[in-house]
Amino acid sequence: MHLLVLAHRLPYPPNKGEKIRTYHQIEYLIQMGHQVTLLAPAEASDDRIQADRLQQKVGCQVTVFAQPWRKLKMLVALLTKKSLSVANFYNNGLQKLFDQMLGEQTYDAVLCTASSMAEYILQSQAIKNSNVELMMDFMDLDSDKWRQYSEHATWPMQYLYKREWQLLAPYENRIHNTFDHCLFVSEQEVALFAKQLDTPCKAVAIGNGIDLSMFSVCNYHQKPQPPELLFTGVMDYQPNVDAVIWFVNHVWPTLKHNHPEIKFIIAGMNPTPAVTALAKNKDVEVTGFVENIVPYYDNARIFVAPFRLARGVQNKVLQALACGIPVVATPMGAEGIECEAADGLITANTASQFAKEIDRLIEQPDKAAELAIAARACIEHKYSWQTQLAQLHQMLGAERA
C-alpha cells in the first residue's frame, strides 16, 4: 500500500516521545513492504537537513514545509475561538501541497499523527473525491492533558489551558466520527476517550516499543558508587518539569537524610530556569542536552518517574527497564506499561512511599539486581516494535500490501 503520513513534527532525529513513535511506525511499515510519503510542517531550523537524513535512513519520500507567521496565526486563533494546537501546526501552503498530491497520485491511506493534523483532512477538497482510508494516531488524549494543566496552573495560563481543553474535546469527537481508524498508545487512553464520545468508541490501542539494539544491560553490581538516581526527558515539557520539581522538593530531602552520598541526575535538553535551579540542591545535577543518553542509563541504579501530569506511555520508563534499571513511578508514570513490581516497575503514590521504595532498593542491592534482570526480560518479551506494530500493519490491509 501507498501511505501518506501527515506528521505534526518531523520524526527525525527520534529523540522525544511522539517522534520516536512515528519514526518507528514509518520504519516498520516500509520494512513490511508499504510505500511511505511523509509531509510535516518545519519546526526546527535544521528540519530540512534532518528530512534528508530521514529519507536516506528509511527510504521514504519526505517534504517539510516552512511555517511563517506562526505567532500571528496563534493570535488569530485566540481571537476567533479556534484551538491553538490546531493553529500552531496548520499551514495553507502545506494544505495546498497535500491536496495537490492527492489529486496527482493514488494513496491507499492517510495517517495523521496527533489530533492537530486532522485539520488538513477536514479542510481538504481533494479528500472528498478520494477513497483513501483515514487513520488518526492520537497517541494521547490531548484534551485531557490540557485539562490537567489547567488544574495545576494560575491565571492567565489556567485560562488558556482550560480554553484548549474545551475546544479540543469536541474536535477530537469530530475526528472520531470522520476517520476510519483511531489509535491511542494505551488501553487507558482509549477508555478515557470513550467517556467523552456520544457514539460507540472505535479507537484501539497500539503501544510503543523499544529498539532493543540501542539499550544494553550493565552488570548491576558493577554500577558506580555512590548510587545515582536518574530522570530523563525534554526539560521544558511541563509534565517533566512538574515531576522533577515535585521529586526534589518532596522526596529528595528524605533520601539525602537516609543516604547522604546519593546523587540525582536530570538529563535532557532545554531545562527551564526552574529545573536548572534544582541543581542548587547538593548532589542534584541538571545536564542540559546530552549527545548520548546511554551512559547515564549505564550509571543509574534507580530510575524515577514521579509524574503528576501525564498522558499515555512514558518511553523513558520503557528505556530504563530495557537497560535493566528498576523504576519507581507514580501510577501515572507507569500507565499503559504491562510490567509489575516483580518486573522492576514499582509504583508509589506519595512522597513518603517514593522515598521508602527507593530506600529499599538502595539497601537491598541483591534484590535490585534481580529486578534489573526481570525488567529487561519483560521488555524483550512484550515491547519490541515488531510486536507492538503488527496490528497497524493488519489495519492497513496486509493482504493487499
> In the 8-state DSSP scheme, what is residue 280?
G
CB 172 within 8 A of CB 346: no
- Give the number of other CB atoms < 10 A from CB of residue 188: 18
Q: Rounded CA gap, 178 and 134, in Å?
A: 8
Cβ neighbours of 303 (radius 10 Å): 27
Provide, rounded to the nearest whole percent, the portion of the chain with pLDDT above 70. 99
Architecture of domain 212-382: 3-Layer(aba) Sandwich (3.40)
| 204 alpha-carbon distance from chain centroid | 17
**Confidence at residue 269, expressed as pLDDT on a 0 to 100 scale:** 96
Please give the chain's pLDDT, 401 residues, in tens: 999 999 999 999 998 889 999 999 999 999 999 999 999 999 889 999 999 999 999 999 999 999 888 889 999 999 999 999 999 999 999 999 999 999 999 999 999 999 999 999 999 999 988 899 999 999 999 999 999 999 989 999 999 999 999 999 999 999 999 999 999 999 999 999 999 999 999 999 999 999 999 899 999 999 999 999 999 999 999 999 999 999 999 999 999 999 999 999 999 999 999 999 999 999 999 999 999 999 999 999 999 999 999 778 999 999 999 999 999 999 999 999 999 999 999 999 999 999 999 999 999 999 999 999 999 999 999 999 999 999 999 998 744 44
Instruction: Please provide the distance, in angstroms rounded to a whole number, between the alpha carbons at the two ends of the chain.
Output: 5
- The pLDDT value recorded for residue 368 is 98
pLDDT of residue 396: 86
Residue 400 pLDDT = 46
Amino acid at the residue 151: E
The whole-angstrom separation of Cα 388 and Cα 395 is 13
The whole-number pLDDT of residue 146 equals: 96
2-208+385-400 matches 212-382 in fold: yes
| Architecture of the domain delimited by 2-208+385-400 | 3-Layer(aba) Sandwich (3.40)
How far is it, in rounded angstroms, from Cα 35 to Cα 26? 9
What's residue 401's pLDDT? 42
Of the candidates 316, 313, 278, which has an alpha carbon nearest to the alpha carbon of residue 300? 316
pTM, rounded to two decimals:
0.90
Give pLDDT, residue 310: 78
Q: Where are the domains of the chain?
A: 2-208+385-400, 212-382
The rounded distance, in Å, linking the Cα atoms of 85 and 167 is 10
pLDDT in the model for residue 304? 98
170-176: Cβ within 8 A, 24+ apart: 171/83, 171/86, 171/115, 171/118, 171/143, 172/115, 172/138, 172/141, 172/142, 172/143, 172/196, 173/197, 173/198, 174/118, 174/122, 175/115, 175/118, 175/136, 175/138, 176/201, 176/202, 176/203
Could you give phi then psi for residue 261, rounded to 5 degrees? -90, -10
Q: Is 244 within 8 Å of 280 (Cβ atoms)?
A: no
Asked if residue 273 has a cis previous peptide bond (ω within 30° of 0), the answer is: no
Helices (H), 37-141: 47-58, 70-79, 84-89, 92-104, 119-122
**Spatial distance between the Cα atoms of 369 and 87, rounded to a whole number of angstroms:** 48
What's the pLDDT at 67? 87
- Cα 264 to the center of its chain, rounded Å: 23
Residue 46 to residue 49: CA distance in whole angstroms: 5
